Amino acid sequence: METIQGLHELIKNRLLEKNGFIKLAENADIIAYGKVLGLNENQLLFKVIEIEDTINWAIENEKVLNSGNKGNSHTQSNIIYCNSCNSTIEKTDANFCIECGAVLNKKPIQTQSQFVTPNSIPEKSKSPYIIIGIAVLVILILIGVVYSINNKDNGNNDSLVVSTTGVTRDTVLNTSDNIAKVTNPPEDNSTLAETNSSGEKIDNYIKYNENCIKDLNTNYFWYIAPDKNFNLEAANNYSNNLTEKNLNWRIPTYTELKTLYNSEFSAGQGYYTRNEYFPARIHSVFNAVGSGSWFWVSDKSNNSSKASAINLHEGIKVSVEVHNNRFPVHLILISK
């Protein structure tokens, strides 16, 4: 009997076979399995992205190497690996990793017989490893002490982010390292915000203009950025420079932006693919989102080359490339 767990295992195994890159059009068995469970191809695509983000490639690569044998050594010699994201890739003429864009190490992955175990390292050669390990530990401790002192002096509760993903993770990001920085808003914006009388009340919202809206259920102020695709750096720059209503704007967390999701609503025309539109499932007062369905959130991702976003058509967290070269991601900012 087909189950959702079975589908997950099928997709995960296929991702491992293909080193994290599969096309649904080339995997009819996944499509057929999904149809039995009532899932269309778009929903299966989200499943693939979601499951891909849960795979620890470093561990999986080690399993592949440890399970190898001498008879497979000629196959492993055709595999290269990415130093940045640890993806294993079939050796080709490509110079960059298809997963994270980093320059590839053209040296083939060593076979099991080529690996040197810790016990096989001569005693003299172990010393540098021990010294390096101690040095790294000391540096990490010093960084932690300095960071704690700075937080205590500045009263700053910001936290550091981006190990990358998609996915929980309320964090802040800094643009200089493809990280987003969220500025804590003041405790009370009541003296800065305009009164409700200057806006139009629509259901439980106050609409000041097409882009600026207040949710009376949560008292959050929302600002819809221009209807276009933002990479993470551009999203942070826009957030840092927005002065609408003299409020302190920032990229929301997944939990905050999820408060807008309601499967009974629809806003904008939504993302268009395969002759179908996928609108954001939020109140129509947010129609200015236009073609937006996915939006950046400040939660940290598990993958250093990715960051988190929310798919407001499905109401789920997704993980996307920091430089956003595969799927369009839009921007809604929050202020309290």
Helix (H, G, I), strand (E, B), or coil: what is residue 99? coil
* d(C-alpha 240, C-alpha 122), whole Å: 54
Higher-confidence residue: 281 or 149? 281
Over residues 104-124, mean pLDDT: 43
Domain coordinates in residue numbering, the chain: 4-114, 175-335
Rounded (10°) CA dihedral 68, 69, 71, 74: 50
User: Is the pLDDT confidence value at 186 over 70?
Assistant: no
pLDDT at residue 75, as a whole number? 41
CB of 245 closer than 8 Å to CB of 208: yes
Vertex 307, ends 246 and 173: CA angle to 5°? 40
Shortest CA distance to 100 belongs to which of 111, 92, 90, 89? Answer: 89
Query: Quick one: tokens of 172?
Result: 């802040």
Alpha carbons 293 and 281: distance in angstroms, whole number: 8
Query: Residues 319-326: what's their mean pLDDT?
Result: 76
38-42, 89-93, 128-132, 229-233: range with highest mean pLDDT = 229-233
Q: What is the mean pLDDT of residues 298-321?
A: 88
Q: How far is CA 236 from the centre of its chain?
A: 15
Spatial neighbors of 66 by CB under 8 A, at least 6 apart, are 112
For residue range 88-111, list pLDDT tens digits in order. 655 555 555 656 655 555 444 444
Average pLDDT score over the chain: 74
pLDDT 10s digits, 209-248: 999 999 999 999 999 999 999 988 999 999 999 999 999 9
Residue 162: which region, alpha, beta or left (left: phi > 0; alpha: psi -120 to 50)? left
Residue 261 Ramachandran class (φ > 0 left, ψ -120 to 50 alpha, else beta): beta
* DSSP E strands, the chain: 79-81, 88-90, 105-108, 200-202, 205-207, 212-215, 220-224, 267-273, 276-280, 294-296, 306-311, 316-321, 332-335
pLDDT at 177 over 90: no
pTM for the model: 0.46
Average pLDDT over residues 32-44: 82
Question: Tokens for 113?
Answer: 């017989």
Phi, psi dihedrals of residue 94, rounded to the nearest 5°: -65, 145
pLDDT tens for 50-102 read 887 787 766 776 666 666 544 444 444 456 656 666 666 555 555 556 566 55
Using CA atoms, how far residue 196 sits from 69, 90, 206, 214, 254, in Å, is: 71, 60, 6, 9, 27
Of the listed ranges 169-178, 193-202, 225-234, 297-306, the one predicted with least confidence: 169-178
> Which is more confidently placed, 191 or 302?
302
Q: Which residue has the tokens 């190490």?
A: 105
Asked whether residue 290 carries a pLDDT value surpassing 80, the answer given is yes
